[in-house]
Amino acid sequence: MKLTLETLLSTLPKVQKTYLPRLEKLGLLTVGDLLRHFPSRYDDYSAIVPIDELSVGETQTVVGVVESVDVSRTWRKKMIVSTVFVRDDTEQMRCVWFNQAFVAQSFPTGTTVRISGKVSSDNKGLYFTNPACERASREPTHTGRLVPVYPETYGLTSKWLRWQMQMVLESLQELDDPIPCDVRTRLSLPELLRAFWMVHFPSSEDEATLAGKRFAFEEMFLLQLRSLILNAKWRRSQSISLPFDEIVVKKFVHSLPFPLTDAQRKTSYQILCDIAKEHPMNRLVNGDVGTGKTAVSAIATSNVAHHGFQTVILAPTEVLARQHFETFSRYFPALDYCVGLFTGSYRQTNRTQGQLSRKEMLSLLSDGSVHIVIGTHALLTDDVSFKHLALVVVDEQHRFGVLQRARLQEQTTRIDDGDKTALPHFLAMTATPIPRTLTLALFGNLDVSVLDQMPRSRKRIITSVASDKQRAEVYSFLRGQISSGHQAYVILPLVEESETLVTKKAAMNECMRLQKTVFKDLSVALLHGRMSSKEKESVMNDFSCGKTNILVSTAVVEVGVDVPNATVMLIENADQFGLSQLHQFRGRIGRGTEQSYCFLFSDKSQNHRRLRALVKHSDGFSIAEEDLKLRGPGQFFGSQQSGIPDVAMSSLMNVKMVTIARDEARALLKIDPTLKKHPATLSVVSSRFSRAHIS
């Protein structure tokens, strides 16, 4: 049977059907999937040690002859114990396996074996417990070498995966390499098939490292190619040119209840210049919490509405969509422009009272009556159409699911706005400050604007790391703030206790405890993601208007909640969150003119050093860089939010590699813009990142 990377694992004769669901659980469907299931580490069993030189507690390898085999059953637990006695030229030792009766049959007396494992000792001498063992006559796979250890699942061991890797690699003849030969030569990278052997069965640590670099570069190189191709395609597209009307924009800016920062002015000007062009804008506004991204988008919207065109603003949650609706309704009086809200639960405008039916709202969008519509992904359904859509704004774009994000721009091309040739301008916004290396790697096809200035009225939030010993003191401080007329948040990582996390506080229990024992005389409310939209709205309305003194919440409060009167935040089990997420939480306070305070509770002293980065830094970009160093990009974005293979994720902090990959991608597209001369590269670029967010 001739194998290719596309061969289904279900067709391989040596893969039993019982293993297929387990493989699928790891996302392994094809031979290519299997080979790209890279080791998470290597156990070094390469050094052969005489038995009389073994060291207790060390992981070592011996070669010897089986002298005797014993199979017994323990009296208490009825457990099968297989004991094999092995001797080399120096000494004899025991090898013990539990509930593995087949071992005795596999290695009969007189067999020369190679055994690797951790050395233990008792009153009978040295022994191995459940070691890896294979006949010394065969090529090393599980012993006597650098042995790969893979991410596993129930019923799928690294040993089984090693057998399959070896079988598959021995059956492959040659592979089309997505990295062009001249690029590999220039960078001294191994070709694809050799690299697979090197990463799964390396002869040395250097060989494993080189293979890892090759695959990291490959993913980054292909990612950059895809990004550059999308960017070129986007720039070849036509859009509606909306000239920058300086008089109209200045009038709108003067109507805002606050002065703009220099960063807001610069970013707004970049956006207004973009939408004046005849090809669609494709820009990311990367700004810290509180730097005024909403105002920047509103300035662009004012110019679009003035020219008689429509704007869509997409938010990841109904809470955030409703808040934007209220903000834009204040910015744009109903007499001037119609602002609409369109989510799964709400359909209304600033010109109508109460709820509208879906049919009524769809009609207002399609006939152009609504100038600015704010909603969730409900706006991306096929029955939504517009009369003249010119601008799509995606707020907190990193919080959309992988498939939604990757296809968002593609879906804007299907929008029925009466003009089949023109694409809407596209503006993405995120309050997660993204370090430069990640911006370069992941958002290369977007023009990036950075909002790195806080409004002058904002005071730096005083942040402290606290332990349980200081709890009474912190509660007393919180009560004093509330007595002064302010409000507070208490943030927890869980909604309710679970069996595996019983020691961690849960929002439901904590809300009840605070209300009944600590703050009996105050109003304490609960907010979490499992509430319905109406329940969330009711809780937030009570908190916003001051009816609630303390809001206990899970991570749902991270985005969009804006209550200037809240000046205190307590974050329980702070060590469970990443630094960037903690900074997002902290951004919910300090939104007024009063001094605000954030307390990070953690009883794990080893995490206090990490948390003190929040005490030291107040700007999100410094914190994001620190978070990236500590947790890596996979955790920085969250596995469900990235859609990018781990091997590429691990290279994102390597600015040099990202830069080289981008330069090589640019050079290749310069000589072969459509990649027709490089079919192997084109094939992988077209398919590999269909699930990844790269735009």
Count of other CB atoms within 10 angstroms of residue 350 = 21
Q: Return the axis-axis angle of helices 620-637 and 579-586, rounded to nearest 10°.
A: 130
Radius of gyration of the chain from its Cα atoms, rounded to whole angstroms: 30
pLDDT digits (tens, 9 = 90+) for 412-447: 554 555 555 678 898 988 877 666 666 666 666 678
Work out the average pLDDT over 276-300: 89
Judged against a pLDDT cut of 90, whether residue 679 lies above it is answered with yes
Count of other CB atoms within 10 angstroms of residue 89 = 10
Are 688 and 222 in contact by the 8 Å Cβ rule? The answer is yes
For residues 204 and 191, give the distance between their C-alpha atoms in angstroms, rounded to a whole number. Answer: 18
- pLDDT-derived band of residue 647, with 50, 70 and 90 as boundaries? low
CA torsion, ordered 41, 47, 51, 53, to nearest 10 deg = -100
How far apart, in Å, are the Cα atoms of 116 and each of 44, 95, 101, 136, 166? Answer: 9, 10, 19, 12, 19
pLDDT digits (tens, 9 = 90+) for 3-37: 889 999 999 988 889 999 999 998 899 999 999 99
Count of other CB atoms within 10 angstroms of residue 484 = 9
Confidence (pLDDT) at 632: 57
Per-residue buried b or exposed e for 599-608, using 16+ beta carbons within 10 Å of the residue's own CB: bbbbeeeeeb
Judged against a pLDDT cut of 80, whether residue 511 lies above it is answered with yes
Are 343 and 378 in contact by the 8 Å Cβ rule? The answer is yes
For residues 274 and 354, give the distance between their C-alpha atoms in angstroms, rounded to a whole number. Answer: 37
* Higher per-residue pLDDT: 387 or 562: 387
How far apart, in Å, are the Cα atoms of 376 and each of 224, 226, 691? Answer: 29, 27, 21
Confidence (pLDDT) at 618: 82
* Higher per-residue pLDDT: 416 or 92: 92
For the purposes of burial, counting CB atoms within 10 Å of the CB of 400, is it exposed (0-12), middle (13-18) or buried (19 or more)? buried
Are 462 and 598 in contact by the 8 Å Cβ rule? The answer is yes
How far apart, in Å, are the Cα atoms of 643 and each of 178, 432, 442, 445? Answer: 20, 17, 11, 17
For residues 266 and 301, give the distance between their C-alpha atoms in angstroms, rounded to a whole number. Answer: 16
| CATH 3.40.50.300 assigned to 462-617 | yes
Confidence (pLDDT) at 415: 53
Confidence (pLDDT) at 563: 86
Work out the average pLDDT over 172-181: 92
Work out the average pLDDT over 251-260: 94
- pLDDT-derived band of residue 406, with 50, 70 and 90 as boundaries? very low
* Higher per-residue pLDDT: 153 or 694: 153
**β-bridge partners, 95:** 84, 128
CB neighbour list of residue 78: distance below 8 Å, 6 or more residues apart: none
Confidence (pLDDT) at 371: 96
For residues 7 and 169, give the distance between their C-alpha atoms in angstroms, rounded to a whole number. Answer: 13
* Higher per-residue pLDDT: 601 or 422: 601
- pLDDT-derived band of residue 504, with 50, 70 and 90 as boundaries? very low
Please give the angle made by the CA atoms of 233, 638 and 596, to the nearest 5 degrees.
110
**Where are the chain's structural domains?**
1-42+162-172, 47-144, 462-617
Are 502 and 632 in contact by the 8 Å Cβ rule? The answer is no
Which of 74-83, 116-125, 286-295, 505-514 has maximum average pLDDT?
A: 116-125
Judged against a pLDDT cut of 80, whether residue 635 lies above it is answered with no
Per-residue buried b or exposed e for 421-430, using 16+ beta carbons within 10 Å of the residue's own CB: ebbbbbbbbb
371 backbone dihedrals φ, ψ, rounded to 5° = -85, -35
Please give the angle made by the CA atoms of 419, 420 and 422, to the nearest 5 degrees.
70
Work out the average pLDDT over 228-248: 88
Judged against a pLDDT cut of 80, whether residue 409 lies above it is answered with no
For residues 675 and 669, give the distance between their C-alpha atoms in angstroms, rounded to a whole number. Answer: 7
pLDDT digits (tens, 9 = 90+) for 341-355: 999 888 999 998 889
* Higher per-residue pLDDT: 440 or 292: 292
pTM of the model: 0.68
Confidence (pLDDT) at 230: 79
- pLDDT-derived band of residue 407, with 50, 70 and 90 as boundaries? very low
Over the chain, what is the mean pLDDT?
84
- pLDDT-derived band of residue 124, with 50, 70 and 90 as boundaries? confident
Confidence (pLDDT) at 649: 52
Strands 112-122, 59-73: pairing is: antiparallel
- pLDDT-derived band of residue 395, with 50, 70 and 90 as boundaries? confident
For residues 289 and 618, give the distance between their C-alpha atoms in angstroms, rounded to a whole number. Answer: 11
Judged against a pLDDT cut of 60, whether residue 405 lies above it is answered with no
For residues 300 and 1, give the distance between their C-alpha atoms in angstroms, rounded to a whole number. Answer: 60
Confidence (pLDDT) at 438: 67
Pick the CATH number of 47-144 from 3.40.50.150, 3.30.70.2740, 3.40.50.10140, 2.40.50.140: 2.40.50.140
Judged against a pLDDT cut of 90, whether residue 251 lies above it is answered with yes
Work out the average pLDDT over 201-214: 91
For residues 400 and 402, give the distance between their C-alpha atoms in angstroms, rounded to a whole number. Answer: 7
For residues 156 and 26, give the distance between their C-alpha atoms in angstroms, rounded to a whole number. Answer: 10
